[in-house]
């Protein structure tokens, strides 16, 4: 059985991502409270790592859930985790601008670019007039569709999400934006 580590810092604004991993069998779920060394050891001891929440090109934000002083600049996943992540080719990186982190560090897996998950982000990304209903629909459909195949290899996850989440692009501008920023490497 594949040992799966899920790192999803506790944050109500990203609770919509929980359906992605609700069907992972016996995962190790980390939402906070671990040290940097414990996270690194967990990455090394698992077959696959799924990381999701808010982030930037520099990594996945800790959202104040990890009180270890070594979590400099507010990241739980950053450059210091790259060697452990490079040992795997089936990671899942879902946070804003994860593509830049993956590309710069030559990592492998399924990942997102800038991903609109809040109305403010939609406005920032050039979608004025976006309502909460549109964002919520995009978030919920993305998470449900990704969760349908999360136990599959990352190439199947990518293909399934691109195809089925893509249906939403017919009438949801947030889905159009996000769909263009889903990658596999």
Residue 33 to residues 19, 24, 67, Cα–Cα distance (Å): 22, 21, 7
Residue 22 to residues 16, 146, 163, Cα–Cα distance (Å): 11, 11, 21
What is the band of 68 on the pLDDT scale with cuts at 50, 70, 90?
Answer: low
Q: What is the pLDDT of residues 118-146, one digit of tens each?
A: 999 999 999 999 999 999 999 999 999 99
Query: How far from chain centre, in Å, is Cα 75?
Result: 14
Q: What is the pLDDT of residues 16-63, one digit of tens each?
A: 999 999 999 999 999 999 988 999 999 999 999 999 999 999 999 999
pTM, 2 dp: 0.95
Tokens of 88: 């795997």
pLDDT, mean over the chain:
95
- Check whether 69 has a pLDDT greater than 70: no
- Give the pLDDT score at 73: 66
- Give the pLDDT score at 36: 87
- Give the pLDDT score at 72: 56
């Amino acid at each position: 059985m594949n040992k799966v580590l899920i790192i999803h810092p506790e944050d109500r604004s990203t609770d919509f991502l929980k359906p992605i991993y609700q069907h992972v069998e016996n995962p190790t779920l980390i939402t906070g409270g671990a040290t940097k060394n414990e996270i690194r050891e967990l990455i090394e001891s698992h077959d696959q790592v799924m990381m999701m929440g808010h982030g930037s090109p520099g990594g996945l934000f800790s959202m104040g859930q990890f009180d270890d002083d070594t979590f400099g600049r507010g990241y739980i996943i950053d450059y210091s985790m790259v060697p452990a992540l490079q040992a795997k080719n089936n990671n899942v990186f879902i946070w804003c601008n994860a593509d830049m982190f993956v590309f710069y560090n030559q990592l492998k897996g399924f990942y997102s670019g800038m991903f609109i998950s809040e109305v403010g982000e939609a406005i920032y990304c050039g979608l004025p007039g976006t309502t909460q209903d549109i964002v919520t629909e995009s978030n919920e459909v993305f998470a449900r569709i990704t969760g349908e195949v999360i136990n599959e290899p990352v190439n199947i996850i990518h293909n399934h999400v691109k195809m089925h989440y893509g249906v939403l692009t017919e009438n949801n501008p947030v889905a159009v934006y996000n769909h263009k920023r889903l990658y596999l490497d």
